[in-house]
């Protein structure tokens, strides 16, 4: 555990570190399905592995089964990052594939196919892509809580400072607030 930040007093310490073994967000239940195609990386779901990318593209963008789809782009230069928006570098970036939600999944999750639901689903799909990007870039965190030199609690898979603080405020009693407030 390499600490990014440790805050302590005479008897207590809170340590934030990179989660070196984050949970793959595609192993969880997701609204979206990814259809990503890359020669060197196996990213996202495996449902379309081995299929012709052009045929999948045609199906995703024209099928009556699809409620919402978004293109997903990759930037590959000394590491990789993905986004639902294209990257400005034409040499090291391009279309990776698509993330989509079927009408069947949307109806099961939300009960309707309205325009409001469409906007909600788009936001969910964007967040799913962001979660994959955090996973690819090891930007999930672990928090270790120590008292008198012993780890008394820990939590991993946290996404950002606000989630870290929220979790600590929720699970630790008020006597920890002074240390929690110092986490930046």
- Per-domain boundaries in the chain: 3-22+140-181, 25-136
Sequence-distant (6+) residues with CB within 8 A of 36 are: 43, 44, 45, 48, 72, 96, 97, 98
The tens digit of pLDDT for each residue in 15-34 reads 999 898 888 899 989 999 99
Q: Is 118 helix (H, G, I), strand (E, B) or coil?
A: helix
The percent of residues above 70 in pLDDT, for the chain, comes to 99
Whether this prediction's pTM lies above 0.85 is answered by no
Cβ of 28: how many Cβ atoms within 10 Å?
Answer: 9
Higher pLDDT, 22 or 65: 65
Query: Is the pLDDT at 68 greater than 90, yes or no?
Result: yes
pLDDT at 113: 97
Closest CA to 82 of 44, 124, 30: 44
The tens digit of pLDDT for each residue in 2-18 reads 778 888 888 999 999 98
The tens digit of pLDDT for each residue in 106-142 reads 999 999 999 999 999 999 999 999 999 999 988 889 9
- Phi and psi torsions of 53, nearest 5°: -55, -35
């Amino acid at each position: 555990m390499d600490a990014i930040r440790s805050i302590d007093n005479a008897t207590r310490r809170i340590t934030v570190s990179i989660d070196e073994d984050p949970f793959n967000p595609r192993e969880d239940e997701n609204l979206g399905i990814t259809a990503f195609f890359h020669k060197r990386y196996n990213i996202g779901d495996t449902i379309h592995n081995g299929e012709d990318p052009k045929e999948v593209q045609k199906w995703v963008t024209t099928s009556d089964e699809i409620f919402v789809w978004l293109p997903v782009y990759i930037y590959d230069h000394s590491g990789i990052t993905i986004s639902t928006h294209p990257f400005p570098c034409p040499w090291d970036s391009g279309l990776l594939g698509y993330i989509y939600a079927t009408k069947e999944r949307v109806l099961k999750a939300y009960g309707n196919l309205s325009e409001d639901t469409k906007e909600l689903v788009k936001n969910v799909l964007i967040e799913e892509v962001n979660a994959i990007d955090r996973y690819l870039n090891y930007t999930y965190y672990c928090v270790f809580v120590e008292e008198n030199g012993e780890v008394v609690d820990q939590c991993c898979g946290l996404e950002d400072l606000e989630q870290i603080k929220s979790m600590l405020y929720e699970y630790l009693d008020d006597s920890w607030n002074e240390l929690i407030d110092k986490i930046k």
